Amino acid sequence: MTEAIGWASALILLLTVSSQVWKQWRSKTSAGVSKWLFIGQISASIGFVNYSVAVENWVFVWTNSFLLFEALLGQCLYIKNKHAEQKNMQA
């Protein structure tokens, strides 16, 4: 039962973060998104992946690895969208 709670919570968290990334991708804008959101997420996820491996908590290894991937994708979209927004302002 404990593992099921962990996996369910992981799924909820992943869906929450991925919805923000999806919103940025679909709208092609990063308006209202702090540049520090994904920078903080990347830093925290790297630390949590290392910690989770050290304590052999595979729910957290899996969750934080995917959160790291989502944060990297989100940061790339953030940068891409900001560059596009700047180009549009100059045109």
- As for how many domains the chain has, the answer is 1
| List of residues 6+ apart from 49 with CB closer than 8 A | 61, 64, 65, 68
Domain that includes residue 16, residue range:
2-90
Short-list 46, 63, 72, CA closest to 11: 63
| pTM value > 0.75 | yes
The CATH number that applies at residue 69 is 1.20.1280.290
29 neighbors 81 (Cβ within 8 angstroms): yes
Tens of pLDDT, residues 68-79: 999 999 999 999
| List of residues 6+ apart from 55 with CB closer than 8 A | none
85 neighbors 30 (Cβ within 8 angstroms): yes
**Average predicted confidence (pLDDT) for the chain:** 88
